[in-house]
Amino acid sequence: MSPTPSRRPEPKGKIKTGICENHNYTDPNTDETGDCPKCASGEKIRVEVKRPSDFCCPVCGERLTPIKEGLPKWIWVAGGAVVAAIIITVICLAMGGKAEEEEVTAEPAAVTETVADSAAVAEEAVAEPTQEEEPAVVEKTAPAKEKPQTEPVQASGSHKLSYGTWKGGWKNGKPHGNGTMTYSVATVIDERDSKKREAQPGEYVIGEWDNGHLVQGRWFKNDGSKEAIIIGKVG
């Protein structure tokens, strides 16, 4: 019988810590689009990484943003002890120098007091009567102008537009916040886009809008492909 080839042990992964920043998560139960639950909670996610593809959110599957772990506690304790020792040394040196200074200046103290008393008598002899203080003038400040009120952001809902249907936040009669834009006619997704990407009927974009303009999102095309679009906020 031929010997059975030994299997190589699976390499151990490295524990890495990251956070989820997926703002375009679609809940499979409600079809609502928004932050991934892990992104909304802001919790730190520790995963074992054997391949780059392993460093992802366990809920939405998007790649995590790595964060650096803090220094070990013993380093902080040792650093605090060193700083405390330096402070105590400086205080002791300062107190020793002050004591020597007092010994040197102790003898001429009587002469200094006599000169100070003479100066006080001279000042009293030539002092002039003080004038009454004038009452302080209180300046009246103009009342602050009220800031113009803007329409608050409405809760997520469905809104029919001339070029498609918007499902998401709404402000000042325009799409605002996270949501989904489904196009019914061929339309340039955002006029600020340098590539002038045009969505066809039936295609849709999931992402973030600001006052009617796309900030960032993902474009789902009729051929099954998708493309990330990042334009930025207005102004």
Q: What is the DSSP string of 2-55?
A: PPPPPPPPPPPPEEEEEE-----EEPTTT--EE--HHHHHT--EEEEESSGGG-
For residue 94, pLDDT beyond 50: yes
pLDDT, tens digit, for every residue of 25-36? 888 888 888 889
pTM: 0.37
205 is a domain residue: yes
Check residue 135 and give its pLDDT: 53
Answer with the residue of higher pLDDT: 58 or 178.
178
Check residue 144 and give its pLDDT: 60
Alpha helices by DSSP H, 46-195: 73-104, 109-126
Query: Cα separation of 196 and 205, whole Å?
Result: 15
4 is a domain residue: no
Cβ–Cβ < 8 Å for 231, 193:
yes
**Domain end point (choices 68, 95, 122):** 95
Structure tokens at 83: 């700083």
Answer with the residue of higher pLDDT: 7 or 86.
86
For residue 179, pLDDT beyond 80: yes
For residue 183, pLDDT beyond 50: yes
pLDDT above 90 covers what percent of the chain?
37
Q: Identify the band that residue 199 occupies on the pLDDT scale cut at 50, 70 and 90.
A: very high
For residue 174, pLDDT beyond 90: yes
Lowest mean pLDDT among 48-62, 164-178, 214-228: 48-62
Domain that holds residue 73: 13-95
Mean pLDDT for the chain overall: 79
90 is a domain residue: yes
Check residue 111 and give its pLDDT: 40
Structure tokens at 114: 């006599």
Answer with the residue of higher pLDDT: 162 or 137.
162
Q: What are phi and psi of 193, to 5 degrees?
A: -70, 120
190 half-sphere exposure, CB direction, 13 A CA radius: 24
Question: Can you tell me whether residue 150 is helix, strand or coil?
Answer: coil
Check residue 129 and give its pLDDT: 47
198 is a domain residue: yes
Cβ–Cβ < 8 Å for 19, 47:
no
Q: How many domains does the structure of the chain reveal?
A: 2
148 is a domain residue: no
Answer with the residue of higher pLDDT: 20 or 138.
20
Check residue 205 and give its pLDDT: 96
Q: Do both 90 and 159 map to the same domain?
A: no
